[in-house]
């Protein structure tokens, strides 16, 4: 059987359907995944995220190895690196440096959007347009006229806009600092960040409609980011829980390490505290993370 984008897309969808962190019965997301051509958003040259024997990240060039490039685009657990050192490293060959942008793996994007749970007609703000692929999936669900996406990198923002327009999608694509949100399009029913933060920007919470959902990867002392899902219970205030361990690239202004106790985490670290017992609260004054005790099991 010849390898085609459609056959790879269908195989990838089947694999993710069998994963407990995949579609989990989310029909709209499954259909959107099969409809949106992921390969349309993957740049012609990307880096594989694992270093080769020489310690450098191999470049996958569509013009040189089109089959490998296409298969890489549909590996359920594989992110593809689209930028190193904020664009200072050109995609001309194997490279070293800090990853600063990627097209996230299909599995991570599916899990992200499943927890976000947008509905048709919801106003949605996406922080971190990147390639525009996640934007396209969101547009299929909420409708592109209800969707705003913001990207700090001018080149990536323009490329994503062109790719989206080529598929007949015209969400509002803004080039700017996503940490400030985009108040002109709010308030929002859903806000999702595709970059992690050390502290949740107050602008996101203030632009969330009461009852709305904020989903973001949050740096944690657990050796990974935690995907937190917060619900606005009143204007300017949201609370919720961590729903999954993930790995995302940090927003530019929050790359410098900070003490976790300064970021609202409880003292003592994660020892003996499961991440799924955490409650996260955020408002204009900052964030607070507490461990909610689990009730002891009853004797049978």
DSSP string covering 118-143, please?
A: --TT--EEEE--TTSHHHHHHHHHH-
| Rounded (10°) angle between helices 133-142 and 154-166 | 50
Domain co-membership, 124 together with 217: yes
The per-residue pLDDT for range 266-275, each reduced to its tens digit, is 887 888 889 9
- Residue 2 pLDDT level (bands cut at 50, 70, 90): confident
Domain co-membership, 54 together with 197: no
Q: What is the DSSP track for 219-288?
A: E-TTSSEEEEEEEEEETTEEEEEEEEEE--PBPGGG-S---GGGGTPPTTTTTT--GGGEEEEEETTEEE
196 carries an active-site annotation: no
Q: From the centroid of its chain, how far is CA 22?
A: 15
Domain co-membership, 167 together with 200: yes
Main-chain phi, psi angles of 75, to 5 degrees: -80, 120
50/280 Cα distance (integer angstroms): 33
Domain co-membership, 91 together with 124: no
Domain co-membership, 125 together with 98: no
- Residue 20 pLDDT level (bands cut at 50, 70, 90): confident
Domain count, the chain: 2
265/39 Cα distance (integer angstroms): 39
Domain co-membership, 157 together with 260: yes
Domain carrying residue 124: 106-291
> Of the residues 44, 78, 103, which one is the last residue of a structural domain?
103
The answer to whether position 297 is within a domain reads no
The answer to whether position 300 is within a domain reads no
Return all residues near 265 (Cβ < 8 A) that are at least 6 apart: 220, 221, 289
- Residue 294 pLDDT level (bands cut at 50, 70, 90): low
Domain co-membership, 118 together with 237: yes
**What is the model's pLDDT at position 300?**
39
The active-site residue, picked from 101, 102, 104, 196, is: 104
The per-residue pLDDT for range 71-119, each reduced to its tens digit, is 999 999 999 999 999 999 999 999 999 999 999 999 999 999 999 999 9
Domain co-membership, 96 together with 227: no
- Residue 208 pLDDT level (bands cut at 50, 70, 90): very high
């Amino acid at each position: 059987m010849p390898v085609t984008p459609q056959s790879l897309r269908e195989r990838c969808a089947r694999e993710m359907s069998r994963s407990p962190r995949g579609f989990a019965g989310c029909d709209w997301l499954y259909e959107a995944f099969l409809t949106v051509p992921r390969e349309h958003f993957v740049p012609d040259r990307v880096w594989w995220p694992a270093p080769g024997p020489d310690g450098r990240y191999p470049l996958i060039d569509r013009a040189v190895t089109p089959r490998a490039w296409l298969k890489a685009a549909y590996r359920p657990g594989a992110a593809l690196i689209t930028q190193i050192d904020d664009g200072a490293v050109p995609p001309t060959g194997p490279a070293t440096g800090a990853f600063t942008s990627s097209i996230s793996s299909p599995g991570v994007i599916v899990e992200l959007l499943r927890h976000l749970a947008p509905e048709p007609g919801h106003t949605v703000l996406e922080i971190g347009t990147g390639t525009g692929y996640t934007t396209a999936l969101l547009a299929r669900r909420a409708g592109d006229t209800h969707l705003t996406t913001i990207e700090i990198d001018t080149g990536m923002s323009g490329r994503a806009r062109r790719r989206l327009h080529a598929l007949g999608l015209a969400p509002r694509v803004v080039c700017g600092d996503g940490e400030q949100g985009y108040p002109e399009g709010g308030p929002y029913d859903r806000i999702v960040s595709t970059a992690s933060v050390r502290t949740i920007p107050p602008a996101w919470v203030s632009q969330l409609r009461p009852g709305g959902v904020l989903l973001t990867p949050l740096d944690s002392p657990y050796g990974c980011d935690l995907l937190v899902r917060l619900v606005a219970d009143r204007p300017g205030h949201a609370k919720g829980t961590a729903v999954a361990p993930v790995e995302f690239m940090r927003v530019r202004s929050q790359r410098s390490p900070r003490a976790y106790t300064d970021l609202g985490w409880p003292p003592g670290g994660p020892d003996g505290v499961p991440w799924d017992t955490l409650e996260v609260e955020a408002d204009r004054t900052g964030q607070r993370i507490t461990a909610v005790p689990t009730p002891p099991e009853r004797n049978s």
